[in-house]
Amino acid sequence: MTTPPKNWNRRSLATRAVHAGRIEPPVENTVVTPIFQSATYQAAAEYDAAYNDIRYVRMNNTPNHAVLAGKMAALEETEAAIVCSSGMAAITTTLMTLVSSGEHIVAADTLYGGTQMWLDHDAPDFGISYSAIDLAKPATWGAAVNGKSRVLYVETISNPLIGIADLAALVTFARSHKLVTVIDNTFASPVVCQPATAGFDIVLHSATKYLNGHSDLAAGVICGRQKWLDPILTRLNHLGGTLDPHSCFLLERGLKTLTLRVNRQSETALTLARWLDQHEGVAGVNYAGLDSHPRHALATEQFRGFGGMMSFYLADSYSPAAFLGSFDVILHAWSLGGPETLCVQPSKSSHVGLTERELARLGITENLIRVSVGLEDADDLLDDFSQALKAASP
Ligand code: PLP
């Protein structure tokens, strides 16, 4: 049905976000990919398809899936991509393909709470163990590797403390230990960073966040070389983490405005971070765009903009509950990457499944507030933060 894909990579990221992956020639001259709401597809009288090529909705290979895979491969500059039902489906399916019972993962010590809980509580049930590394201390990384280590797993920008991974150093380290490099690029998005261009083997996303960008669906993406993705797709097709065609359509629509949205969110986030940083009710701001961030120079070198995610500590005497309960525009809600600015306490949301000891180890205290900067006017957000801080003051 499709002609071979064009080489969209000679076009800019903004152009790729709009056009890459589109069906050519278009079905009925459509400009927008139609929704192929068909669970199954007719076969030729004689066919000889490999398992993953049998066209069936659970195999994530309908035309809507193919368009998205082409677009995401172009955006992350990888050979191929797979879309699936959620970020967690992308993460767990990838790790459960690359690592078998008896084997080991080397992972960053600050990760999205769902990933952290999977490593702590689910992976052991499958005979998979892990060791955590502090990304800021490369000299200690080697001690975490053992003869059974298979994967190095990190996040480009960590959730919720906005730690910044040194991509080049991690790739060099992983290659010297023959580890497959896997990175969750959700917080950055390909607009801010394309880790495959720094040598990462597999780039994962919760497409629920920036890629879709409208807070109205769940999806995941796995990008990388075909040789890595083939076995991951087989496992995904067995585990069943399918994205339905209608969500594919919505995700494709969201992706078309990705660069516009993320660039605007980065700009507003920097304004907000600078403003919060000088406020007496704020004890510290985690945002890589600030000179005070320990990895500011590295982030400036390896990123384009610093993204729309930040976190900050309310001063001790300020009440988190009063702060979160006093917004006029901003919403107190979890998730991120949408048009609405969202604030949340990670200790009570994304990381609520962690024990108190784990939370204390990571520095995720009750006064830590995470902000997903939306698309509202920056002045309206400053005004809302200002009045909420006033309401939270002693
Ligand atoms: N990775 C990061 C960095 C996240 O913040 C999240 C969810 O918040 C996930 C992965 C999981 O994504 P999903 O909720 O789409 O499964």
pLDDT exceeds cutoff 70 at 347: yes
Sheet holding 129-133, edge to edge: 80-84, 220-224, 202-206, 180-184, 149-155, 104-108, 129-133
**Separation CA 376–CA 339 (nearest Å):** 7
Testing ligand 1's pocket by substitution, the residue of 154, 158, 185, 186 carrying the most ligand atoms inside 8 A of its CB is 186
For residue 1, the model assigns a pLDDT of 43
- Using the mean position of ligand 1's atoms as its centre, give its distance from the Cα of residue 5 in Å: 30
251-264: average pLDDT = 98
For residue 48, the model assigns a pLDDT of 83
CATH of domain 258-392: 3.90.1150.10
Give me the amino acid identity at 49.
Answer: A
Testing ligand 1's pocket by substitution, the residue of 208, 247, 310 carrying the most ligand atoms inside 8 A of its CB is 208
For residue 45, the model assigns a pLDDT of 86
pLDDT band at 355 (very low <50, low <70, confident <90, very high): confident
For residue 5, the model assigns a pLDDT of 65
- Report pTM: 0.96
Find out whether the beta carbon of 159 lies less than 6 Å from any atom of ligand 1: yes
Q: Which residues make beta-bridge pairs with 371?
A: 310, 343
pLDDT exceeds cutoff 70 at 207: yes
- DSSP conformational letter for 79: S
3-state secondary structure of 331: strand
Find out whether the beta carbon of 208 lies less than 6 Å from any atom of ligand 1: yes
User: What separation in angstroms does the CA of 25 have from each of 1, 84, 160, 191, 337?
Assistant: 8, 25, 44, 28, 33
If you take atom 8 of ligand 1, which residue's CA is the nearest one?
335
Cβ pair 56, 36 in contact under 8 A: no
Find out whether the beta carbon of 87 lies less than 6 Å from any atom of ligand 1: yes
Find out whether the beta carbon of 187 lies less than 6 Å from any atom of ligand 1: yes
pLDDT exceeds cutoff 80 at 244: yes
pLDDT exceeds cutoff 60 at 335: yes
pLDDT band at 360 (very low <50, low <70, confident <90, very high): confident
**Separation CA 137–CA 303 (nearest Å):** 21
- Using the mean position of ligand 1's atoms as its centre, give its distance from the Cα of residue 330 in Å: 21
Please spell the DSSP secondary structure of 285-298, one letter per residue.
EE-TTSTTSTTHHH
- Percent of the chain whose pLDDT exceeds 70: 99
**Separation CA 91–CA 109 (nearest Å):** 16
- DSSP conformational letter for 315: P
Q: What is the dihedral of CA 122, 123, 126, 130, to 10 degrees?
A: -160
**42: which residues sit within 8 A by CB, 6+ positions away?**
none
pLDDT exceeds cutoff 80 at 4: no
**Separation CA 200–CA 173 (nearest Å):** 11
Q: Which residue has the higher pLDDT, 280 or 52?
A: 280
Testing ligand 1's pocket by substitution, the residue of 85, 209, 349 carrying the most ligand atoms inside 8 A of its CB is 209
Indicate the length of the chain as a whole number.
394
Find out whether the beta carbon of 188 lies less than 6 Å from any atom of ligand 1: no
**Separation CA 128–CA 100 (nearest Å):** 7
If you take atom 5 of ligand 1, which residue's CA is the nearest one?
112
- Using the mean position of ligand 1's atoms as its centre, give its distance from the Cα of residue 361 in Å: 21
Which of 317, 377, 378, 322 shows the shortest CA–CA distance to 345? Answer: 322
Fold of 6-255: Aspartate Aminotransferase; domain 2 (3.40.640)
Give the position, in ligand 1's atom list, of the atom nearest the Cα of 91: 10
Q: What is the dihedral of CA 350, 102, 179, 93, to 10 degrees?
A: -50
Find out whether the beta carbon of 206 lies less than 6 Å from any atom of ligand 1: yes
User: What separation in angstroms does the CA of 223 have from each of 171, 206, 268?
Assistant: 16, 12, 29
If you take atom 4 of ligand 1, which residue's CA is the nearest one?
112
If you take atom 13 of ligand 1, which residue's CA is the nearest one?
87
Find out whether the beta carbon of 218 lies less than 6 Å from any atom of ligand 1: yes
Within 10 angstroms of residue 178's Cβ, the number of other Cβ atoms is 9
Find out whether the beta carbon of 186 lies less than 6 Å from any atom of ligand 1: yes
- Using the mean position of ligand 1's atoms as its centre, give its distance from the Cα of residue 150 in Å: 23
Kindly report, residue by residue over 161-189, the tens digit of the pLDDT: 999 999 999 999 999 999 999 999 999 99
For residue 3, the model assigns a pLDDT of 58
Q: How far apart are the first and last CA of the chain?
A: 65
Asked whether the CA dihedral 329, 286, 278, 265 is positive or negative, the reply is: negative
- Using the mean position of ligand 1's atoms as its centre, give its distance from the Cα of residue 360 in Å: 22
Q: What residue ranges do the domains of the chain occupy? A: 6-255, 258-392
- DSSP conformational letter for 27: G
How high does pLDDT run on average in the chain? 95
Which of 340, 325, 334 shows the shortest CA–CA distance to 352? Answer: 334
Find out whether the beta carbon of 109 lies less than 6 Å from any atom of ligand 1: no
Kindly report, residue by residue over 31-49, the tens digit of the pLDDT: 999 999 999 999 988 888 8
Kindly report, residue by residue over 271-301, the tens digit of the pLDDT: 999 999 999 999 999 999 999 999 999 999 9
